[in-house]
Amino acid sequence: MCRDILCREENLLLSQLRAVKMTKFSSLFIAIFIGVSQLYSQITPEEIDDLIKTGSEQLLVKENSRLMQEDFLYYADKIAARLLEFDASSSNYNYRKGYTTLYSLNDPRSAIQYFTVAITNTNKNYDAFSKNEKAAPHDAHFHYAECLHMLGQYDKSIEQLYVFKEKSREESELLEAINLKIQQIQNAKNAAGPNLQIQSLDGLNTEYPDYAPLISLDGKLMFYTARRPWSGGKTALYNDRKSNFPPEDGYVAHLNNAGWSASEKLEICTPHHNEAGLAMSANERALILYTDSTGNGDLYFGTATSSITQPVSLDQDTSLNTEFWETHATFSADGNTMYFTSDRDGGLGGRDIYYRTKNAEGKWSQPINIGSPVNSGYDEDGPFLSYDGRILYFSSNGLRSYGGFDLFYSQLESDGKWSMPFNMGAPFNSTFDDVFYSTTIDGKTCYLSSNREGGKGSLDIYTVNRSESLSQVAVFKGHIKTSTGEALPEEVALDMTLKCTDCIVKEQQFSLTPRLRDGIFYGKLEPCKTYHIVLYNPGKPQPFHEETFATECALEYQEIYREFIYDMNEKIIKPIVTEVEPIDTLVADYKNFEFIRYFGYNKNKVSNQDNEIAGILKNIEQQISDGRKQVTINLYSSSSKVPTKTYGTNEKLAQLRAENLKKELETYIKANKTLNGKVSVKIVSVSVDGPEYNEDSGKLEKYRPYQFVGFKTE
């Protein structure tokens, strides 16, 4: 089972067509509906096209009805279009085309024109299998109301719901949804939200569904899911019956200065099953993956080493997976708590959010339903936990939604309970489906998926930048570089002892492994606390780093950043020893900043309008205004050893990277009265680094750590 909203959701609003008794099964119908697996191997688009060309009006009516009953809406839509050629004024045929356009093509704006005709003639004794039936079922009013709701015509939508309620048979399953729909419409009418802009992620979105973005802590790597056809027609036999999209596959993309890179498909993907990457630990080595190859849909633990697209193991946990549907999951920052969704028995509604914890021996507890007020009598899905563990984001299609799935967040209160969820408002939510939220470590760069109007293909990925986070996040961030410039070995690890006199837990011990793509590791801190931190090489009694510091109390992201060297000969982590010249005491009190940007091949430019650079320059400006006398920005750059025809030599490319950034910074500084004359820029290091080129330029992760430009202030 795929996790795309459009293929996984049973229509909450079932058509009256589904209640019609089937009689006189035609030979084509038998061929189509012996079973879904046989359908995939027996029916083809060419056969449907042939039926449309040669079938009588009566036969097409019957086959269209049966296709709609069985949710084969993509083929039903093709036949409905042909039926309109027989009689464009028929309320019956317009109803059929409106229904398939809305629920298969996800196009309420086009569907509304068909429902406008359909509602002019409705009949409670509607005969779905007769070509002589000119009327539509009363359900047309309900689906017309759905279109109006999605397009923001709220009063007209409510009016049509009441018309449907008055006309409908008492046994109609749609009647149960009316109160929900009216409440959601009222919510949409009163919608509010922060004044933020939402943008389509054009570098990744395609004409096919792209969704479920999971962003790395630094915003440079993304898991996401897409339903794109494989080359050579390998997925054609496995397209879903509702929208004709291929099965879902998991992808990984990297952000560089030119935008999002070409995506890499996860190695676990097959053309005939649904697979996806759902969660990754802070060090990007522990993964949670989804596959339906074993049944309805299960969650697996994977381990990544040299490449996150190639998990070296897939471990199924029988205490987690059931005969039911487990669809999505998220890790806590320390990897010891996971939240996931399941429609197993015993829940509050359809899909609920569950959690479980890992003990000191590394064993997971039995799943526990998170309960109300997070879970409801409706569906909850797509949990995502903030880095500090105090905000749980998720989607729900219940009474507080604007329509379809909306994004919500709940805060962890002092008593350990989750608060009443808050609707995140516009632009995060719309009257369409808005799901699968994730953020960077600071909570400011947000990603989500939505099938709202204006997208490229069904579900698309969107991004929103916030000026401030919803939570306080403090981290100890370390960067381990190798003494030779080579990639960090997989076995590198360190032990951390964290002492905090004013914390509830006075002392904690962690074993940490850095990210392999850049040597970064994170340790979670609390704001407004005093810490003593000690770092050890595993098995070594003497620490290689020790210090005391205090985190700020401000409501913003903060990090304590330190750099270390891994000695490739001695196989240990060491502090970076630098000679420090005496400086003015006033300057010493000011925070210094560091920036680094990794490039794709031959890329060499970073704008002073880059969000991270602009933020640093604004901070420097504030420091100068507060009395800092002088700031020096020391630039450094690198090129890998992959040959460059464009620039002749790697040395020239590395130099160009440094000079381009120097020019951008100096342009900004000269135009700023506060900075001009007090901030200088100089290039201190230009290098060609990394492993020797071995005719393997396709191995992006091998060379990317040595293609960068950056700076430090002093």
The answer to whether residues 277 and 265 touch, using CB atoms and an 8 Å cutoff, is no
Predicted local confidence at residue 384, as pLDDT: 97
**Could you tell me if 399 and 482 lie in one domain?**
no
Angle (CA) 707-659-218 rounded to 5° is: 40
- Region 78-99: mean pLDDT is 98
Query: How many alpha carbons lie under 13 Å from residue 196 in its C-beta half-sphere?
Result: 21
Amino acid type, 136:
A
pLDDT cut 90: percent of the chain above it: 60
Between CA 124 and CA 668 the distance in angstroms is 71
The arithmetic mean of pLDDT across residues 634-655, rounded, is 87
Provide the pLDDT confidence category of residue 77 given band limits of 50, 70 and 90.
very high
pLDDT tens digits along 488-504: 999 999 999 999 988 88
Question: Is the Cβ–Cβ distance between 616 and 665 less than 8 Å?
Answer: no
What is the model's pLDDT at position 215? 96
The answer on 372 and 510 residing in a single domain is no
As a whole number of angstroms, the distance between CA 52 and CA 588 comes to: 79
In a shared domain, residues 482 and 368 = no
- Total domains in the fold of the chain: 4
pLDDT digits over 112-142, tens only?
Answer: 999 999 999 999 899 999 999 999 999 999 9
The confidence score (pLDDT) of residue 629 equals: 87
Write the single-letter amino acid at 460. Answer: D
Examine the pLDDT at 19 and tell me if it is beyond 90.
no
**Do 512 and 593 lie in a common domain?**
no
- Of 189, 215, 238, which residue is a domain's last? 189
Higher per-residue pLDDT: 430 or 653 = 430
Do 231 and 168 share a domain, yes or no? Answer: no
Domain match, 380 and 443 both? yes
With a cut of 80, say whether residue 364 has pLDDT above it. Answer: yes
The label of the residue with tokens 């632009």 reads: 427
Co-location of 413 and 548 in the same domain:
no
Least Cα distance to 432 among 114, 184, 157 occurs for: 184
CA atoms within 13 A on the CB side of 539: 4
At 384, list the tokens.
């995502």
Q: Does residue 608 sit in the same domain as residue 556?
A: no
Judgement on whether residues 400 and 492 belong to the same structural domain of the protein: no
394 membership: H or E segment, kind and range: strand 391-396
Tell me the pLDDT band of 700, cut-offs 50, 70 and 90.
low
How far, in Å, CA of 625 to CA of 650, rounded? 40
- Digit-coded pLDDT (tens) for 32-58: 333 333 343 346 788 899 999 999 999
Q: Which of 9-23, 360-374, 419-433, 591-605 is modeled with the greatest confidence?
A: 419-433
Contact criterion met (CB below 8 Å) for 421 and 408 = yes
Cis omega (within 30 of 0) on the bond before 489? no
Which pLDDT value is given to residue 109? 97
Secondary structure of residue 186 in the 3-state scheme? helix
β-bridge mates for residue 423, sequence order? 408
Q: Which of 127-131, 352-356, 682-686 has the lowest mean pLDDT?
A: 682-686
Q: Are residues 569 and 591 in the same domain?
A: no
What is the rounded CA–CA span in Å between residue 530 and residue 525? 10
* pLDDT at site 256: 87
Q: How confident is the model at residue 13 (pLDDT cuts 50, 70, 90)?
A: very low
CATH number for 616:
3.30.1330.60
CA dist 239 and 75 (Å) reads 12
Q: Which one of 465, 487, 511 terminates a domain?
A: 465
The one-letter amino acid code at 332 reads: S
Residue reference for tokens 């008794």: 21
Amino acid at 76: A
The C-alpha atoms of residue 176 and residue 282 are separated, in whole angstroms, by 44
- The Cα–Cα gap between 119 and 101 comes to 16
CATH number for the domain spanning 14: value is 1.25.40.10
With 0-12 / 13-18 / 19 or more C-beta atoms within 10 angstroms meaning exposed / middle / buried, residue 262 is exposed
Tell me the pairing of strands 259-260 and 249-256.
antiparallel
DSSP bridge pairs for 222: 215, 253
- DSSP code for 265: E
CA distance 79 to 100: 10
CA 174 – CA 184 distance, rounded (Å): 15
127 C-beta neighbours (distance < 10 Å), count: 15
pLDDT higher than 80, residue 381:
yes
Cα 304 from Cα 311, distance rounded (Å): 5
Which of 312-316, 407-411, 564-568 has the lowest average pLDDT? 312-316
**Averaged confidence pLDDT in the chain:** 87
pLDDT at 20 over 50: no
What pLDDT, on the 0 to 100 scale, is given for residue 696?
Answer: 72
Residue 687, pLDDT score: 82
Least confident of 2-11, 77-86, 389-398, 470-479: 2-11
136 with 57, same domain?
Answer: yes
For residue 43, what pLDDT is reported? Answer: 66
d(CA 619, CA 443): 19
Answer with the residue of higher pLDDT: 88 or 11. Answer: 88
Residue 478 confidence class, pLDDT cut points 50, 70, 90:
very high
> What pLDDT does residue 307 have?
80
Residue 36 belongs to what H/E stretch? helix 36-42
Query: Are the C-beta atoms of 309 and 252 separated by less than 8 Å?
Result: yes
587 has a pLDDT exceeding 70: no
pLDDT of residue 600: 79
Judge whether 365 and 312 are in contact, CB under 8 Å: no
The DSSP bridge pattern shows strands 558-567 and 474-482 to be parallel
Is the separation of the CB atoms in 532 and 499 below 8 Å?
yes
User: Which of the 8 DSSP states describes residue 440?
Assistant: -
Tokens (6 digits) for 680: 């200088």
pLDDT value, residue 39 = 41
Confidence (pLDDT) at 576: 83
**Given this model, what pLDDT does residue 577 score?**
66
Residue of 297 and 709 predicted with greater confidence: 709
Q: Is the pLDDT of residue 248 over 60?
A: yes
Reference 714, options 590, 563, 564, 565; nearest CA is 590
Say what the pTM is: 0.77
Distance CA 282, CA 221 (A): 12
Q: Measured between alpha carbons, how far is 252 from 225 in angstroms, rounded to an integer?
A: 9
As a whole number of angstroms, the longest Cα–Cα distance in the chain is: 95
CATH number at residue 375: 2.120.10.30
Kindly state the average pLDDT of the residues 96-115. 97
- In angstroms, what is the C-alpha Rg of the chain? 29
Dist CA 72 CA 372 (whole Å): 36
Residue listed under structure tokens 């950034």 = 661
Among residues 161, 189, 217, the one where a domain terminates is 189
Q: How far apart are CA 387 and CA 239, in angstroms?
A: 37
- Is 326 in the same domain as 446? yes
pLDDT band per the 50, 70, 90 thresholds, residue 645: confident
pLDDT at residue 9 is higher than 60: no
Residues of the domain holding 115: 5-189
184-206: average pLDDT: 92
Residue 439 is classified by DSSP as E
Query: Quick one: average pLDDT of 438-463?
Result: 94
CATH of the domain at 477: 2.60.40.10
